[in-house]
Amino acid sequence: MWLRVFTAFLSFAASTCLGLKVTVPSHIIHGIRGQALYLPVHYDFHTPASDIQIIWLFERPHTMPKYLLGSVNESVVPDLEYQHKFTMMPPNASLLINPLQFTDEGNYIMKVNIQGNGTLSASQKIQVTVDDPVTKPVMQTYPSSGAVEYVGNMTLTCWVQGGTRLIYQWLKNGRPVHTSSTYSFSPQNNTLRIVPVTKEDIGNYSCLVKNPVSEMESDMIMPTIYYGPYGLQVNSDKGLKVGEVFTVDLGEAILFDCSADSYPPNTYSWIRRTDNITYVIKHGPRLEVASEKVAQKTTDYVCCAYNNVTGRRDETHFTVIITSVGLEKLAQKGKSLSPLAIITGISLFFIISMGLLFLWKKYQPYKGQNQNTGKHKHFQAMKTLWMTLEYMNLLLFQMLLVFPGGRVGLFQPLMAYQGKVCTVQFMKLFSTSLPNSKTIQSEFSWAKQYIGVK
């Protein structure tokens, strides 16, 4: 090949130097069987010429060149064997082949001789190939019913009815498929084998077939691959999720959704664990839990996903904690807020009344009384005020720290005071709890020390 290129280059250089130049657009031209093929050639010279001769020769590998036709001063002299097949119109040296057949494949040599002040000669060679166009490929998969990942294999075959010198290329999602640990090809490249199939092999496969004169691509096929379940998880439409724990307010109904990536779709089962006993409560991807119907405030659940074709299963565990309704939700219920509003109003009335009483006692003139008596009355007023404030303190703790659902009555609330949680009856607050207050006890100690109160 390199020898031919080098010979052509020397011929081109010599003809250029001598004033004769022969050029062709391409040294290889691909033709379609049954159609006409045009071989363009251009020659140019810069010397006086008396005669111009053009000759076309044809050669096949390992054969001698064969004369096709020629011309002298625009007079065509064809070979009688090919006079209806090859056409040339001088002074144009281009050649028309019509119709093109497989037997016309080979090398076409064009030679120009210029007679003037001597003889100038130059030549060019064009290689012609003949092919049939590619018809649309058809793909088939085996097994057609699909394959299970990591267990089954799959074979994709590409069939073409017409075409010559075919080149096959496999595409997945529009990109070329290359040999890998799971992908292999037949010697002609018209078969793709996937051993074994995995989820990552899912995609749109097509077969691209081409030759020098055409190319066609098959329709896309997505092989059926069974896989999963993968990525099993549980989500809810309500509640607060922290890791695998869902916190739900008492009285709310929460809907759980169990999902996993799988083909075919999974079958789902819901399992509840109570007192170390597990039992199936429902089948399907969704589960509704009504918190007021749950006997335990903390319940463990399990969602199981099973693929009937792959035989694989997966499960996820989660916990549901039922909590009391917050105060902000109690604000919407008049029955819960009415007692608290009444208590608050009464307490504010006591504070204002005792505050006025304290001011009146403090500034009232104590005529005919000694200093200790005045101080004693001052202490009594202060004591009354502190007791009232302590009572208010208890009421405020009652309002803020009471747990909904834990009340046993309006006058027997659950409350937290001085770091303890206790149940106190309303009528015993003033007589039992308050006199034992650390604040009141400290006032008694101060009085005994400074004014002699007994």
Q: Would the pLDDT of 92 be above 70?
A: yes
pLDDT category of residue 80 using cuts at 50, 70 and 90: confident
Digit-coded pLDDT (tens) for 171-196: 999 999 999 999 999 999 999 999 99
pLDDT for position 367: 46
Is residue 35 pLDDT above 80, yes or no?
yes
- Average of per-residue pLDDT values in the chain: 78
Q: What sign results for the dihedral spanned by CA atoms 141, 142, 146, 147? A: negative
CB-CB contact of 113 with 89 (8 Å)? no
Picking from 295, 305, 237, 225, the residue whose alpha carbon sits closest to that of residue 265 is 305
Q: Where are the domains of the chain?
A: 2-131, 138-223, 231-323, 330-450
Rounded to whole angstroms, the Cα distance separating 413 from 398 reads 7
- Distance between CA atoms of residues 157 and 144, nearest Å: 12
Please state, in angstroms and rounded to a whole number, the distance separating the CA atoms of residues 128 and 96. Answer: 12
Contacts of residue 63, Cβ cutoff 8 Å, sequence gap at least 6: none
Return phi, psi of residue 132, to 5°.
-95, 140
Query: What CA–CA distance (Å, rounded) separates 214 from 160?
Result: 13
Identify the CA nearest to 398 among candidates 385, 388, 411, 386.
411
CATH topology assigned to domain 231-323? Immunoglobulin-like (2.60.40)
Most confident stretch, 64-78, 199-213, 283-297: 199-213
* Conformational region of residue 205, where left means phi above 0, alpha means psi within -120 to 50, and beta covers everything else: beta
Per-residue confidence (pLDDT) for residue 236, from 0 to 100: 87
Element (H, E) at 159: strand 154-159
| CATH for the stretch 138-223 | 2.60.40.10
Please give the Cα distance from 154 to 149 (Å, whole number): 10
Look at the block and give the residue holding tokens 């040999």: 179
**In CATH terms, are 2-131 and 138-223 the same topology?**
yes
Neighbours of 202 (CB within 10 A): 17
Q: Is 295 exposed, middle or buried (0-12, 13-18, 19+ CB in 10 A)?
A: exposed
Q: Residue 375 is encoded by which pair of tokens?
A: 């101080």
The pair of three-digit structure tokens given for residue 220, joined into one six-digit string: 């896309």
Location of structure tokens 């140019």:
44
Would you identify the CATH topology of the domain 2-131?
Immunoglobulin-like (2.60.40)
Find out whether 126 and 29 touch, Cβ atoms under 8 Å: yes
DSSP string over 285-319: SEEEEEGGG-SSSEEEEEEEEE-TTT--EEEEEEE
Contact 134, 33 (CB under 8 A): no
- CA–CA separation, 62 vs 347, rounded Å? 121
- Is pTM beyond 0.75? Reply is no
pLDDT single digits (tens) 401-438 = 444 433 333 333 333 334 443 433 333 343 444 444 45
Q: Which residues contact 25 (CB under 8 A, 6 or more apart)?
A: 40
List pLDDT tens digits, range 348-367.
766 777 666 666 666 555 44
